[in-house]
């Protein structure tokens, strides 16, 4: 199985790690590992953005060669949800 070397970081850039993953890992696997390893809030949804291409990786999609290249930076970003105004 092919591997890819990546840098994973949080959106606020306070946490960063250089990792090697199998190409069959998914964006969701990366997010879950970041949440677990960095004790990120569990009550927040996250997206994974390849900052090199500006594209958001789908949680169920594998880390294909079209999606990520060696050395790319993947950023774990909280998904902001706006609340409704109740009158």
**Which tens digit of pLDDT belongs to each residue from 20-73?**
999 999 999 999 999 999 999 999 999 999 999 999 999 999 999 999 999 999
pLDDT bucket at 86, cuts 50 / 70 / 90: low
pLDDT of residue 14: 96
pLDDT of residue 87: 61
Q: Which domains does the chain possess? A: 3-78 (3.10.20.90)
Q: Which long-range contacts (CB under 8 A, 24 or more apart) does 48-56 make?
A: 48/74, 48/75, 48/76, 48/77, 49/74, 49/75, 49/77, 50/74, 50/75, 51/75
pLDDT of residue 1: 65
């Amino acid at each position: 199985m092919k591997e890819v070397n990546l840098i994973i970081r949080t959106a606020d850039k306070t946490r960063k790690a250089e990792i090697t993953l199998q190409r069959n890992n998914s964006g969701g696997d990366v997010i879950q590992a970041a949440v677990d390893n960095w004790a990120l809030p569990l009550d927040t949804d996250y997206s994974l953005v390849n900052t090199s291409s500006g594209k958001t990786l789908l949680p169920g999609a594998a880390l294909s060669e079209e999606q990520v290249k060696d050395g790319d930076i993947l950023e774990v970003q909280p998904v902001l949800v706006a609340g409704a105004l109740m009158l």
